[in-house]
């Protein structure tokens, strides 16, 4: 036993331990900025009626078909009685806020401070725009108040938001709510990979998890899924915030 300890001690002496090139201790006052951001978000969004969150790329141009599709989906969600929450920036976010705003509905933007891409789009009232420093606070606001998540084509950020929501539903950390992927040409390959590799080959998700990922191309199908979820014959799903902290 002592020989084993001696060998480990010698290895430790010979090992070149890595050193931080730079480390900055977080000022404890940083926590107050985080708390303030949570308080501002809760107090603002608690005043609004139930919404759906619409995710998608900031890079989508107004002449892209998915820009118009997001606009139409948002307008139909307004007709269905929901407000619309987006990340508040350009692209799909702008399109969804535009659809809600131009249709006379609630249009909310949860903006994030970024060195590129992000700026407030013009289809959100100033009183309905939140500015976030921290992605994790912003995600809480997206998830807590949305009664459905509509995912249009997007990049890493969109995938991050989508899989975060799916994980929370899968682990029962939030209420089960609809997560709807818009654009079969964009999402079918990803869903097939989840089925073939994650589920069948490696058994890292279950078959029932696949049911959390419907793919549609028509705005009416988006609304139909949401309507059936809340107004179906069983009436088991109520409209309320997704969790209590």
The candidate with the shortest Cα–Cα distance to 108, out of 69, 136, 68, 77, is: 77
Position 9 scores a pLDDT of 58
Residue 132, C-beta contacts closer than 8 angstroms, at least 6 positions apart: 37, 41, 110, 111, 112, 113, 138, 141
pLDDT band at 64 (very low <50, low <70, confident <90, very high): very high
Question: Residue 245: pLDDT above 90?
Answer: no
User: Reduced to 3 states, what is the DSSP secondary structure of residue 108?
Assistant: strand
Q: What is the pLDDT of residues 78-113, one digit of tens each?
A: 999 999 999 999 999 999 999 999 999 999 999 998
Question: Residue 185: pLDDT above 60?
Answer: yes
Tell me if 115 sits within 8 A of 17, measured CB to CB.
no
The region, left, alpha or beta by phi > 0 then psi within -120 to 50, assigned to residue 215 is beta
Topology of 32-227 in CATH? Rossmann fold (3.40.50)
Hey, where are the domains in the chain? 32-227
- Output 8 or 66, whichever has higher pLDDT: 66
Please compute the mean of the pLDDT values over residues 200-204 and round it to a whole number: 97
Q: What is the pLDDT of residues 36-59, one digit of tens each?
A: 999 999 999 999 999 999 999 999
Please compute the mean of the pLDDT values over residues 16-21 and round it to a whole number: 81
Position 29 scores a pLDDT of 80
**Residues 126, 59: Cα–Cα separation, whole Å:** 23
User: Reduced to 3 states, what is the DSSP secondary structure of residue 48?
Assistant: coil
């Amino acid at each position: 036993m002592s020989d084993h300890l001696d060998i480990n001690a010698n290895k430790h002496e010979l090992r070149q331990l890595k050193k931080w090139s730079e480390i900055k201790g977080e000022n404890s006052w940083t926590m107050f900025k985080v708390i303030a951001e949570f308080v501002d978000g809760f107090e603002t969004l608690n005043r609004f009626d139930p919404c759906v969150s619409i995710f998608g790329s900031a890079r989508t141009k107004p002449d892209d078909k998915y820009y118009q599709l997001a606009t139409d989906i948002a307008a139909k969600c307004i007709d269905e009685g929901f407000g619309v929450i987006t990340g508040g920036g350009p692209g799909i976010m702008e399109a969804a806020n535009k659809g809600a705003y131009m249709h006379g509905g609630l249009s909310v933007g949860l903006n994030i401070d970024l060195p590129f891409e992000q700026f407030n789009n013009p289809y959100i009232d100033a009183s309905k725009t939140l500015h976030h420093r921290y992605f994790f606070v912003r995600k809480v606001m997206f998830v807590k108040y949305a009664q459905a998540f509509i995912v249009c084509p997007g990049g890493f950020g969109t995938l991050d938001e989508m899989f975060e929501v799916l994980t929370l539903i899968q682990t029962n950390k939030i209420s089960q709510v609809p997560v709807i992927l818009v654009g079969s040409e964009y999402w079918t390959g990803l869903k097939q990979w989840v089925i073939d590799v994650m589920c069948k080959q490696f058994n890292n998700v279950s078959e029932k998890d696949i049911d959390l990922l419907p793919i549609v191309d028509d705005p009416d199908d988006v609304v139909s899924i949401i309507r059936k979820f809340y107004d179906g014959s069983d009436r088991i799903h109520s409209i309320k915030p997704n969790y209590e902290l």
